[in-house]
């Protein structure tokens, strides 16, 4: 293929891709390199759920509070969260935590802190908060049990039992 033909072909390929809306049929590049990871879990309609988007769809709460988790959650708060979230109602970089367990479901909170990027892209409540704070919450790479412990610490902070 000479250069001129290549350009023609490349142009045609682009045109086709546009026509298909970038469907998975595009084959303009030979390399097999990974696509964006495909979310295979059923994507809940963003507006239909107050549980947020992520793997936590049913968080069982403990009554009374699990003091071990509260303590672990406070430890994580001190290292990873306290820089931006106060424990009262005052906004620092992010919103104050007072009352967060009344405003959001346990699932939403767990999904937000473990699945930050997708939540900020798709969840209306998360997006609304981003418009207020203007700083994307850092993904702090919390493990599931760390996130659960932080939730317990939030419940303690809100006077739950």
Partner 1 sequence: MTKYLLTLMSLGAIVGFQSCKMKTTEAAVSGDAASKVYVAPGKYDEFYNFVSGGFSGQVSVYGLPSGRLLKVIPVFSQNPENGYGFNEETKPMLQTSHGFIPWDDEHHLALSQTNGEHDGRWLFANANNTPRVARIDLKTFKTVEVLELPNSGGNHSSPFITENSEYIVGGTRFSVPIADQEAALTQASFKANFKSTVSFIAIDPTTGRMKIDFQVVLPGMDLDLSRAGKGPSHGWFFFSTYNTEQANTLLEVNASQKDKDYIVAINWKKAQEYARAGKGKKMATEYYHNTLNEENHTATSEVEKEVLTLDPNELKDFVYLIPCPKSPHGCDVDPTGEYIIGSGKLAALIPVFAYQKITKAIADKAFEGDYYGIPVIKYEAALHGEVQKPGLGPLHTEFDGKGNAYTSFFVSSEIVKWNIKDLKVLDRVPTYYSIGHLMVPGGDTKKPYGKYVVAYNKITKDRYLPTGPELTQSAQLYSIDGDKMQLLLDYPTIGEPHYAQAIAADKIKAQSAKIYDINVNKHQYVSMGEKTTKVVRAGNRVDVYMTAIRSHLTPDNIEGIQVGDEVYFHVTNLEQDWDIPHGFAVKHAANAELLIMPGETNTLKFVPTKAGVYPFYCTDFCSALHQEMQGYMRVSPKGSSVPLKWHTGKTDSAAAVAAVR
Contact residues for partner 1, defined by CB under 8 A: 1-3, 6, 10, 28-31, 33-34, 78-80, 82-84, 92-93, 134-136, 138-142
- Taking the complex as a whole, the smallest distance from the CB of residue 5 to partner 1 amounts, in Å, to 9
Q: How far is the CB of 39 from partner 1 (least distance, A)?
A: 17
Looking at the Cβ atoms of 30 and 63, the one nearer to partner 1 is: 30
In the block, which residue shows the tokens 């963003």?
A: 46
What the block records as the tokens of 113 is: 């802190």
Q: For partner 1, give the closer residue by CB, 57 or 139.
A: 139
Question: Which C-beta is closer to partner 1: that of 80 or that of 125?
Answer: 80
Using omega within 30 degrees of 0 as the cis cutoff, is the peptide bond preceding 30 cis?
no
Question: How many Å apart are CA 44 and CA 123, to the nearest integer?
Answer: 10
Nearer to partner 1, 100 or 116 (CB): 116
Q: 91 forms bridges with which residues in the sheet?
A: 85
Find the shortest distance in angstroms from Cβ 33 to partner 1.
4
Q: Helical H runs in the chain?
A: 3-20, 67-76, 100-103, 106-114, 116-122, 124-133, 144-157
- Which of 49, 59, 58, 24 lies closest to 122 in space, CA to CA? 49
Minimum CB distance to partner 1, residue 60 (Å): 26
């Amino acid at each position: 293929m000479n250069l001129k033909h290549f350009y023609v072909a490349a142009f045609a390929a682009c045109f086709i891709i546009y026509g298909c809306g970038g469907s998975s049929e595009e084959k303009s590049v030979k390399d097999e390199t990974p696509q964006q990871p495909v979310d295979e879990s059923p994507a809940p309609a963003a507006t239909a759920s107050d549980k947020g988007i992520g793997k936590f769809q049913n968080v069982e709460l403990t009554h009374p509070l699990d003091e071990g988790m509260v303590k672990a959650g406070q430890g994580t708060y001190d290292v990873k969260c306290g820089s931006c979230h106060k424990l009262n109602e005052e906004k620092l970089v992010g919103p104050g935590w007072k009352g967060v367990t009344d405003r959001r479901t346990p699932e939403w909170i767990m999904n937000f802190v473990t699945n930050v990027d997708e939540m900020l892209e798709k969840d209306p409540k998360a997006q609304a908060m981003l418009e207020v704070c203007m700083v994307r919450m850092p993904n702090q790479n919390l493990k599931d049990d760390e996130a659960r412990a932080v939730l317990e610490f939030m419940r303690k902070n809100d006077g739950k039992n």
